[in-house]
Structure 1
């Protein structure tokens, strides 16, 4: 169910629980400010989620409140994941859903890294 990206951060969300170690994940990369792990329901051969460790609901929230160090670390982590998984070899897609109309389902900023196959059109009609 899509969420309101302007709502306050919910520390009980699934990604917050993963960061705290309450739920398992298949980690691809962990840095000081970011965590990347395989999606539990992959939509492509390569499907990794990259999340900041801070309490940010969306891109808007993150770019307004995160430190320069957090922003730099997160953006670099996304690129590093693409290289580590081999997604960069043939091309890949980054996707971050924001808010209800964007289809955001978890109230924690995350970027999907998709690759390993042709990914089709930008938007489904």
Structure 2
């Protein structure tokens, strides 16, 4: 089993290198696949390996968060709202708080949260009574994008549940911009 995983990982790493070479319009090197020897590791390959590793860590984190979602205890976002954990706040009003993500995925990466969770742990749990705060969150995303100078191009992401890699069960929006966004996103 371990050998099969190593081999498929080597092929995946190799496909990352080939994809990056093809994108730069450089000629592709001759391919030689060996089940006993991994292909040479390039800088691009190391980057792909890190992305794969980060993705696996993100998935594990999401599964762990989903397992403890019903504990009812305060989330890290509740602690940020209470100012128990420091954050770089970029916007705040009576209903929402926006702050810089500590692990930015774009030059501008702001997390926007409602100050009152009110059972809204994820978008999939939204009820008709939440429509006012959901609308306010989306409008505030526009205000934050304007304030951050990315109104001409930004993305709003809401991760929902373990399959969506949600790692904090307090509804939150990621506002990303400052670079060209790609499609498909992930």
Answer 1 or 2: higher relative contact order, Cα 8 Å, separation at least 6.
1
- Aligned residues, how many? 121
Unaligned runs of 5+ in 1: none
Once superposed, what is the RMSD of the aligned Cα atoms? 2.0
What is the Cα deviation at residue 18 of structure 1? 0.4
Structure having the higher strand fraction is 1
Which whole-Å CA distance do the structure 1 matches of 2:150 and 2:72 have between them?
Answer: 31
Please say which structure displays the higher CA radius of gyration: 2
Give the structure 1 partner of residue 139 of structure 2.
76
Partner residue of 2:94?
32
Task: Detail structure 1 runs of 4+ shifted over 3 Å in the superposition.
Answer: 7-11, 62-65
Which structure shows the bigger proportion of residues in helix conformation? 2
Structure 2 gap segments, 5+ residues each: 1-60
Q: Does residue 94 of the first structure (1) align with residue 144 of the second (2)? A: no
Q: Does 1:59 align with 2:146?
A: no
Shift of 1:76: 1.6
1:1-20 equivalence runs, <5 A: 1-2=61-62, 3-4=65-66, 7-8=69-70, 10-20=72-82
Q: TM-score, normalised by structure 2?
A: 0.59
Q: Are the structure 2 counterparts of residues 98 and 9 from structure 1 closer, same or farther at C-alpha, using a change threshold of 3 Å?
A: farther
* Residue 75 of structure 1, CA deviation: 2.1
Structure 1 residues 54 and 8: CA distance shift in structure 2, 3 A: farther
Distance 1:11 1:30, change over 3 A: farther
Q: Is the 8 A contact 2:113 2:171 kept in 1?
A: yes
